[in-house]
Structure 1
Amino acid sequence: MLDAWDDAPRGAIHPEKLDRKGLFSLNVDGAIWKGLHILEAGLGDNRVPPRWLADENMRVAIIAYLDWKGCHAELDIIKREVANMHVWYAEEHDAIQTAIHEAGMHSNDTC
Structure 2
Amino acid sequence: MIDLSQIPRFTGHALERDGHTCRIQGPRCQGRATEVDHIQPGDNHDPNNLQAVCTPCHATKTGKENAARLNASRPRRRREPEPHPGILRPDEMQSRRSQGVAGDPL
Give the TM-score taking structure 1 as reference length. 0.30
Q: Which structure features the higher share of strand residues?
A: 2
- Would you tell me which structure has more helix in proportion to its own residues? 1
Higher relative contact order (CA 8 A, sep 6+): 2
* TM-score normalised over the length of structure 2: 0.31
